[in-house]
Amino acid sequence: MKNYLETTKDVYKKAAETPDVGLCCTTTPIWQLPGLDMPTIMQEMNYGCGSTVNPRDLVNNPSILYVGVGGGMELLQFSYFSRRKGAVIGVDVVDEMLEASRQNFKVAEEQNDWFKSEFVDLRKGDALHLPIEDASIDVAAQNCLFNIFKLEELKQALKEMYRVLKPHGRLVLSDPVCEQAMPEHIREDERLRALCLSGSIPLQDYIDMITEVGFGTVEIRAKRPYRILSPNHYDVEELVYIESVEVCAIKDPMPEDGPCVFTGKTAIYYGDEECFDDNNGHVLMPNQPLSICDKTAGDFTALGRDDIYISDSTYFYDGGGCC
């Protein structure tokens, strides 16, 4: 029987040689930026389940690492913001995928006068042993790769990303998650895992694994419907609903009272005082929204006040937080 790496290599060798439009599939729009003409081949080889490119992360000429290159679409989008030689490093374990993205960058060069293939430094390597120096990267990203890994491998892949990031560096991830118990025989099916269909874990477990390797701040930026595994197409007894998430983990020091995880909760003070100050860095002005992390939301709830509204998690956190 083939192990996960052999199966994954088989699947992505084929996907490199013949674009497979439905392989992963995203509900996120493909960002069309002014002056960026995205080659059709890159769109056909969009094997991600969300987006990891966010201009907010890309200030101050960051060094960028992208693991699991696919057809190169997101590397081109990152290059759009960096525009210098070697600013984006792409790592992949499948030779054919590296070669396909190399060819796709040539097409991108023909279609975009601002782009040069040399902006991207493609390297052969494994997400579990990155060919990258310690603390050398500002923004690391992976899209729809880590869900393929089993828990021990996922932990190792996250540790590797943590190792290569500079202090306060950002790891941007997009992966499927699933709140239902995935049947064991489906979870163990290496091919379904490689196709990003059966390796997903519940969001809270995913967040816990990220914070356990040391990331002190986590933002849940988006959560969207992704896939249904139905009994008429898969060996399951009931519908299995899978969502995709976009997450940013920041290599901030771990706060003494635990990580700050922003899931889109907001506090609004509606009391009669000038403001509410928890003397712990959070000041709520009357009827003004303040994004808060889940830890702070828990602390506010524990106060038992009837003049602070705390919203549910929206799972669409977009900055402006309190911690």
Ligand X SMILES: C[S@@+](CC[C@H](N)C(=O)[O-])C[C@H]1O[C@@H](n2cnc3c(N)ncnc32)[C@H](O)[C@@H]1O
Nearest one of 127, 131, 75 to 102, comparing CA atoms = 75
Which amino acid is present at 125?
A: G
Q: Does 75 bind ligand X (CB under 6 A)?
A: no
Q: Does 143 bind ligand X (CB under 6 A)?
A: yes
Place of tokens 């995880």: 261
Q: Which of 69, 76, 210, 284 binds ligand X (CB under 6 A)?
A: 69
Give me the sheet containing 308-310, strands edge to edge.
289-292, 265-269, 308-310
Token pair recorded at residue 114: 């601002």
The window from 91-99, 102-110, 206-214, 240-248 that contacts ligand X (CB under 6 A) reads 91-99
Q: Does 67 bind ligand X (CB under 6 A)?
A: yes
Asked if 296 and 323 touch (Cβ cutoff 8 Å), the reply is yes
In the bound state with ligand X, the residue whose beta carbon lies nearer, of 10 and 299, is 10
The window from 113-121, 142-150, 232-240, 275-283 that contacts ligand X (CB under 6 A) reads 142-150
Distance CA 181, CA 202 (A): 9
Distance CA 25, CA 225 (A): 11
Q: Does 99 bind ligand X (CB under 6 A)?
A: no
Q: Does 24 bind ligand X (CB under 6 A)?
A: yes
Distance CA 81, CA 174 (A): 20
Report the nearest approach of ligand X to the CB of residue 94 (Å).
4
The one-character DSSP state at 321 is B
Token pair recorded at residue 108: 């991108």
The window from 45-53, 197-205, 252-260, 311-319 that contacts ligand X (CB under 6 A) reads 45-53
Distance CA 51, CA 141 (A): 10
Q: Does 226 bind ligand X (CB under 6 A)?
A: no
The window from 64-72, 202-210, 216-224, 313-321 that contacts ligand X (CB under 6 A) reads 64-72
Contacts (CB under 6 A) with ligand X, residues 196-225: 196
Contacts to ligand X by CB under 6 A: 8, 12, 24, 46-48, 67-70, 73-74, 91-94, 97, 126-127, 143-145, 196
